[in-house]
Structure 1
Amino acid sequence: MARILVAEDDPSVRAFVVSALSMKGHEVVAAEDGGLGAEIADEEEGRFDLLLSDIKMPIMDGIALALHVGAKYPEVTIVLMTGFADQRERAHGLDALIYDVITKPFTLADLLVKVDDAIAGKPVEVVSLGRRALEQ
């Protein structure tokens, strides 16, 4: 199974995601915000298969965290989460860096399928990611 770094500031969403991924057999490390997520990524020298991060967080948002992790650890697959349409648009500019964006609220099944696809490197729909999907 995969080693996943989850950065999410909402305690209930973080607990749901960590629980779901752990029950699926993944090793999950959780951070309460992007700043802690960046610290953990650096302490672990990027030894994660996947970064799953909320976009809108205090300290360091998910976009900044994705840029940090993507620049230092390009082998880490990145999936962002958001409940805000404007935040999804901000992520659209990162097509070459992120795998996809999952929109909140999401179901357990949605989360697990997206994580499995990201880890397996399956292409995402052209509509959801644009240029990156065409390149795969």
Structure 2
Amino acid sequence: MARILIADDEESMRLLVARAIGMDGHETVTAQDGSEALEILIESAGRFDLLLTDIKMPIMDGIALALAAARDFPDLTILLMTGFADQRERASGLDALIHDVITKPFSVADIRNAVAAALAAKKTG
């Protein structure tokens, strides 16, 4: 199964997403902001199959994290999450770097399907 890094400043969202993805047998590691997530990526030499990050976070937001992750770990698949239309718009220029943007709120089935699609695209891409 895949190794997935989840970055979100809301603990309840991190736990929900980690639990949902774990139902499919994936290993999850969580971070409370982009800066912590980037540290984890660097310490692990990018050994993750997927980065799933919220866009709007303090310290380092998901866009800055996605840019740094794509630069340092170009094989890493990136999936963004947001509940804000303006943040989704900011991400639209990142199509070459990210797989997709998932709109919050989402169901457990939605996040599981989005992760499965991103991982499947990685295998074929």
Q: How does 1:23-102 map to 2 (within 5 A)?
A: 23-102=23-102
Identity of aligned residues (%): 63
Unpaired segments of 5 or more residues in structure 1? 123-135
Distance 1:77 1:68 in 2: 13
Distance 1:58 1:19 in 2: 23
Runs of 4+ with >2 A deviation: none
For this pair of structures, how many residues does the alignment match? 123
The one-character-per-residue Cα deviations of 1:21-72 (angstroms, maximum 9, x if unpaired) are: 1121001000000000000000000000000000000010000000010001
Which protein has greater RCO, CA pairs closer than 8 Å, 6+ apart?
2
2:3 corresponds to = 3
RMSD (Å), alpha carbons:
1.0
Distance 2:24 2:113 in 1: 11
Unpaired segments of 5 or more residues in structure 2? none
1:108 corresponds to = 108
TM-score, with normalisation over the residues of structure 2?
Answer: 0.96
SS in 2 for 1:57: coil
